[in-house]
Each structure stands twice: as structure tokens, then as C-alpha cells.
Structure 1
Amino acid sequence: MGSITVVITGASKGVGAACVHGFAKAFPDGVNLVLVARGIAGLKKLEEELAQYANVKTLTLAADIGDLQACKAVVDATIEAFGCINVLVNNAGLHHRGNFSEQTPEQIAAMVDINLKAPLYLAALVLPHMQPKANGTPNAIVMVGSLAGRAPLQGAATYSGTKSGLRAFTYALSDELREKHINVAVVSPGPIDTSFIMDEIDEVEDIVYSQPMSSPEQVADSIVALASGENTEISMPWFSGKLTTLGYLFPRFRRVTRGLLYQIGRKNKDKYRQRKA
């Protein structure tokens, strides 16, 4: 297998940065990593870290992927540098927290742009550049969803809605592209131990912390596995994925258990605050 080309959005920190290292380790024969994020400083730091891998070539692109023209520029630059795209990881995400009635239209639009429109834009743009699968070379589009996309989450209506839409799109596109041997998949994690929720712990809904916390590396491992395989979804933690299925199928179950889950979440929040202190 020769070098593969992987585009990762939101690459500068958290799950995105863990994915960068994950793909570097997973493909020792060579990997071209296209690192996309809004801030160039974080990307440059990550690029320096990748110097330890002899098998890696990098391209760092500062871009706001909520804009279609920026998405086009990312794909054009990737093709100019490496000639094709094997894997797209739609990891970038945005969450303005709080009840829907308290959010501005601008905040809502920004979440829709980053969480839903950008992954669709990028998927449409990269598909013409994906080569037929050969010699074990992966061909995949992997979305970073959320357990909030599997079951409605009070206090995060827009975020939950965008992740639910992303999951539905994944399953539909997966069926469309199956015969072309392009795997379209989604990882649906619960809380992840990153700045995305830990730096805003007081603003995050208590119920989020009721579930076991995953590490960025665990989520990245699932993303690499989805990119290299044929599964459509990995929910994590496993048991939390089953709970969200029950909550979606049986809304009464979700409402009845909500109070207990909030209690558990509040207790866990206190533990995380102490850890942070």
C-alpha cells in the first residue's frame, strides 16, 4: 500500500489532534495528512510534533469551513499537493450552549454551518477525487457525531439537531456509496475529556457528565477503525449508546430517567471540578 491522503477538520486540538497522531501510526507505509482548522498557531505546533514520524507528509490549512468557498479552497489545495483524497474526517464542531430560546439566530446559524452544512459540502467536494479501492487502501468519509445525535438532548436543541441530521445523512450516503466501496461512517461519542466541555464545565448540561468520559485517543481509534473498515457507526461508550437508543425509541423512558441522570451528572461535575482545581 502506498501513501494515502487524509483530510482532518478541527485538527489543531482534542479529537482532531488525536486523529492526526492516530493516522500517522496506523499507516507506516506513508500518509499525507491535511490539517485544517481556523487557527494557524495550533496547526503549526501539531506539524512540529509530526516531525517524529518519517512516514508523514503534512499540509496545514487555516480555514473557516462554515464557508463553502473555504471548503473548496481546502480540497483544491489538497489535490494540488497530493493528487487525491482517500479519507475525509469531518471532525470540526461548534456548540453554543444553553436553551434554544436564549440563543441568537447568529449562534444557531453558526452551529448549522459548522456541524451540518460543512460536512455535506466537503463530502460532495471530495467524492470526485476518491480513487477506486485497491490493495487495502481505505476510501472513507467519517463524521464525528455525538450521542446527542442519537437521542434529543434538552438544553442543546440545535446541537442535537445538527448531529442527528449528520447521522441520518451518514446512513443515507453510506447506502448510496456502498457499491462504490466508499465507506461512510459516524462515530457517536458521549462526553470526551477535552477543552470542548472541560473548559466550559459550568455551562455544560449536568446530564452530559452522567455518562463515562472517553479520551480523545479512544475516539480517534474508533475513527481510524471506521476509515479502514466497513462499519457504519461506533457509539461510545457502548452502554451509553444503548441508552440513547432506548431514549429515542421510548421518549417516556428518557423523561423518566432524566432526573436520575442529572443527579449523577452533578456529582460527577463536582469530581471534575476538583480534578481541574
Structure 2
Amino acid sequence: MPSQATTAPRVALVTGTSSGIGAAVVEHFCKLGHQVLAVDFNPAGKAVAGKAGAVFYEADLSDPDACRGAVTEAVKRFGSVDILVNNAGIQHVASIETFPEEKWHQIIDLMLTAPFLLTQAAWPHMRKKGWGRIVNVASIHAQVASPGKAAYTSAKHGMIGLTKTAALEGGEQGITANAVCPAYVKTPLVDNQIADQAKLNNMDEQDVVEKIMLKQAAIKRLIEPEEVAQLIAYLASDAAGAVTGSSFNIDLGWTAH
């Protein structure tokens, strides 16, 4: 999507911003003139936000109070929340038989419950203005499944349902909700999976990218975070005012089979 498909400067709250997609979105939004609250549990995100021109807010979004606190902070600093990008995520790869229960709860809390609570907290501010954009960073695993990713896949499938419900409820209030579904993006989250995937599939680490991550892809490369950020920027713009309840695959042809 063209980066100039923007809107007037708005207030954006972006989660999971210390690296990868979130960091790229923060940088892109700041270049577009938006006021950005960059939310992450990792203190390293402060330097990323500062370099881009955003304000950093440290929070563990698996805590419901932290979700509400992030929205309160954005309103306190900037007066509102116009754009919400739910991007924060973690990963754990293991079979269903061996998947740790605590990891299941951690992933669901961060990647499904937190987006709901952030949406709920931001909603009145968007409704008051009659304008809002919610963009949920799902995954191609919101459309398909892979072995070893029960919690991640469940959370991402749930995020699509949350997106559609928010779209139906927000339509008459000027609030849109959409999801983006990337395949494997060149991020630390993906890099950190390689050893676990190798162990789960009994293969060498150097084979994981080619034989697992890119096996289904028509374009044999990882996606750049900025590519995802530009799609998110479009969905957060005035130009996308008629787009809601949709899921956009940015998957290198993964689901074309």
C-alpha cells in the first residue's frame, strides 16, 4: 500500500514495539505525523520509541490493569486514542501433549485477552470522536494451523473473531476493525523459533527456514517488518474508511495452494 495513503495526524497506541513489526509501525506512524504511545514489557523499547519520536510506556499486557493503564496513559498524554494496533505477541513451540499449561495461559492472556481489553478501553474515546481504527496483527496462523503451535494458533484464530465483532459493533460509530495476517516476518520472534522447530521436527536448524517456514510460500523469502507496517498504515488511514471486518493476508502466497 502507498505510504501516502494516510490521514490527518492522529493518536496511535501500538503494542509490542521493542522490535520487529511493532517497531516498524511506530517508526512509520511517527513519520506520518501521528502521536504514538509505544507499549512493550521490554525496557529496550524505550530507545526504539525515542529514536522514532514516540513516547514509551512499559507494561506487561498479560495484566488486565496494564492494558487499561496503557490507554489511560495515551489519553493523559495526547488527549485520546484514535488508532489501536494490537501487535504484542510471544511464541512457544511444543506438541499438545507436552505444551506447558502456564505457557498456554500466558499466550492467550497476551495475544487475545489483552487486545480485547485494549479495544474495550479505547472504544469510548473513538466513539466520542466518531472516528477510530483498530488493526489487529494476527498471523497466517489465524487462517491455517501448524504443528506445535496450539496456543499461538488458537489466539490468532480468536483475534479474527474479535476483529469481526468489533467491525460490526463499530460501523455506525465510525470505528473500523481489520486484521493483518503475515506469514513469517524477519523478526526476533521468528528467529527464536528456529531451535524449537528443529527439535520438534528432528531436523537441523539450518533446514527450518527452507523446509518449514518457506515450504508453503510462493515467494521464497521472509517478509520485512516495514512491508507489514505499510499495510497497517493504510488500514489506519482515512483512505480505508470503507474497509472493516476484513483479514488481509501478507503471506508470500502461503494460502494460494
Q: TM-score, normalised by structure 2?
A: 0.83
1:162 counterpart = 2:155: yes
**Offset of 1:160 from its aligned partner?**
0.6
- For 1:44 and 1:112, how far apart are their aligned partners in 2? 25
Letter of the 1:145 counterpart: A
Matches within 5 A, 1:149-188: 149-188=142-181
1:221 counterpart = 2:227: no
Q: CA RMSD in A?
A: 1.8
- For 1:33 and 1:104, how far apart are their aligned partners in 2? 35
Letter of the 1:89 counterpart: V
Is 2:16–2:88's contact at 8 Å kept on the other side of the alignment?
yes
- For 1:225 and 1:241, how far apart are their aligned partners in 2? 22
**Offset of 1:238 from its aligned partner?**
5.6
1:236 counterpart = 2:250: yes
**Offset of 1:48 from its aligned partner?**
3.3
1:208 counterpart = 2:213: yes
**Offset of 1:109 from its aligned partner?**
0.4
- For 1:48 and 1:164, how far apart are their aligned partners in 2? 33
Identity %: 28
> Residues 32, 143 of structure 1: CA spacing in aligned structure 2 closer, same or farther, 3 A cutoff?
same
Aligned partner (choices 117, 129, 134) of residue 132 of structure 1: 129
Is 2:61–2:114's contact at 8 Å kept on the other side of the alignment?
yes
Task: Work out the number of aligned pairs and report it.
Answer: 229
Aligned partner (choices 27, 35, 44) of residue 38 of structure 2: 35
- For 2:8 and 2:233, how far apart are their aligned partners in 1? 17
Letter of the 2:37 counterpart: V
Question: What's the CA shift string for 1:123-161, capped at 9, x where partnerless?
Answer: 00000111435xxxx620110001111012222111111
- Larger deviation, residues 152-161 vs 188-197: 152-161
- Larger deviation, residues 147-156 vs 159-168: 147-156
Larger gyration radius, structure 1 or structure 2 = 1
Is 2:142–2:156's contact at 8 Å kept on the other side of the alignment?
yes
Is 2:26–2:49's contact at 8 Å kept on the other side of the alignment?
no
- For 2:168 and 2:252, how far apart are their aligned partners in 1? 24
Aligned partner (choices 43, 46, 49) of residue 47 of structure 1: 49
1:83 counterpart = 2:79: yes
- For 1:176 and 1:46, how far apart are their aligned partners in 2? 34
| Alignment gaps of 5+ in structure 2 | 1-6, 202-207
Letter of the 2:174 counterpart: H
Higher relative contact order (Cα pairs below 8 Å, separated by 6+ residues): 2
| Alignment gaps of 5+ in structure 1 | 52-57, 244-277
Q: Secondary structure at the match of 1:214?
A: coil
